[in-house]
């Protein structure tokens, strides 16, 4: 049987990497995109060695509209029937009260989390419509369901992901293309290291004194959504560490 194809954005680390490997384990070939080619190539090698999955590595910044449209339109016929798209690439930058917000950080978050997700989706959706099937999973956040102190613009971008997920589902279900969203709480990945611009000590403290989620927890939730039969769509799923009952509240020992 031919293997299905999943495109995972931001596949070189964290949740994206865990999704890619779990999908490979479950019989998918992979399109792996992100800006750091060497990280993607490591995932490609692991997916091949452990699960005999083939991968196509795309060094791609989701903010680059022309590049996103170009690489998608130039996909070889063997890679054009994309069964699953996981819009995972995203980031937080900074954790400042609104009046101190860094405008460059705001631009990067808006360009990546909202516009990047839109560019990739807009490029891939016609291929799914042509195939008459497809499933898009948007990685939102608890920050897209609630707000927390100093989360301001990151929360706004993830609220946009939530609204877009619902809008995309409304518009695309007629083809039928499924759209789901997963909204995780705190997951220890490169997320906080990126948020604090490489300050690993500050990032480590975010996860101190409680059991955070790991990337594989989120990947398993996403796999549950992807593996439902054609007539079932999991619209959204919020997944939190038990010690984090809501955004911004963590019970630490
Ligand atoms: P990571 O930093 O480990 O992963 C983020 C991935 O996104 C990286 O692989 C990065 O790759 C990629 N990426 C970032 N910017 C771009 C860009 N402009 N173009 C292409 N790829 C990009 O963190 P996570 O795994 O935690 O984050 C994955 C998603 O999960 C994000 O959308 C995040 O907002 C969301 N999330 C994370 C939570 C957490 O607590 N960790 C909780 C809730 C949601 P590269 O740098 O090579 O491009
Ligand atoms: C990240 C979730 O709660 O760490 O999207 O901000 S949280």
- In this structure, are residues 33 and 8 in contact, taking their beta carbons and an 8 Å threshold? yes
d(CA 115, CA 147): 21
Q: What is the dihedral of CA 102, 103, 105, 107, to 10 degrees?
A: 170
H-run or E-run covering 216: helix 215-226
- Asked if 125 and 172 touch (Cβ cutoff 8 Å), the reply is yes
**86-145 pLDDT, tens digit each:** 999 999 999 999 999 999 999 999 999 999 999 999 999 999 999 999 999 999 999 999
Query: Nearest CA to 249 among 126, 142, 114, 169?
Result: 142
Domains of the chain in start order, with CATH, are 4-239 (3.40.50.720)
What is the reported pLDDT for 143?
Answer: 98
Note the pLDDT tens digit of each residue in 32-81: 999 999 999 999 999 999 999 999 999 999 999 999 999 999 999 999 99
pTM of whole model > 0.95? yes
Closest ligand 1 atom to residue 108 Cα is 18
What is the pLDDT, as a whole number, of residue 50? 98
Give dist(CA 20, CA 17) in Å, integer.
5
From the list 51, 119, 148, 154, the catalytic residue is 154
Which of 22, 30, 32, 91 gets mutated to test ligand 1 (max ligand atoms within 8 A of its CB)? 91
Range 187-213 average pLDDT:
98
Q: Which ligand is nearest to the CA of 120?
A: 1
* Cα 185 to middle of ligand 2, angstroms: 5
- Tens digit of pLDDT for each residue in 151-172? 999 999 999 999 999 999 999 9
> What is the per-residue pLDDT for 166?
98
**Are 161 and 184 within 8 A, CB to CB?**
no
pLDDT at 1: 63
- Which atom of ligand 1 is found nearest the CA of 40? 47
């Amino acid at each position: 049987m031919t293997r299905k194809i999943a495109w995972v954005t931001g596949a070189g680390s964290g949740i994206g990497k865990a999704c890619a490997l779990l999908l490979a384990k479950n019989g998918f070939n992979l399109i792996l995109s992100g800006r750091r080619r060497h990280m993607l190539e490591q995932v490609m090698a692991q997916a091949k060695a452990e699960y005999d999955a083939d991968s196509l590595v795309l060094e791609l910044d989701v903010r680059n509209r022309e590049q996103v449209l170009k690489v998608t339109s130039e996909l070889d016929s063997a890679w054009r029937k994309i069964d699953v798209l996981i819009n995972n690439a995203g980031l937080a930058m900074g954790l400042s009260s609104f009046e101190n917000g860094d405008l460059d950080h705001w631009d990067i978050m808006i360009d990546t989390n909202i516009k990047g997700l839109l560019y990739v989706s807009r490029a891939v959706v016609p291929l799914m419509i042509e195939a008459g099937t497809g499933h898009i999973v948007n990685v939102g956040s608890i920050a897209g369901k609630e707000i927390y102190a100093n989360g301001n613009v990151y929360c706004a971008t993830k609220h946009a992901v939530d609204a877009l997920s619902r809008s995309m589902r409304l518009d695309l279900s007629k083809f039928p293309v499924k759209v789901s969203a997963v909204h995780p709480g705190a997951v220890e990945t490169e997320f906080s290291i990126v948020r604090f611009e490489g300050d690993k000590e500050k990032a480590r403290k975010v996860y101190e004194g409680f059991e955070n989620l790991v990337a594989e927890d989120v990947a398993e939730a996403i796999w549950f959504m992807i593996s439902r039969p054609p007539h079932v769509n999991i619209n959204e799923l919020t997944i939190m560490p038990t010690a984090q009952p809501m955004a911004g509240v963590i019970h630490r020992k």
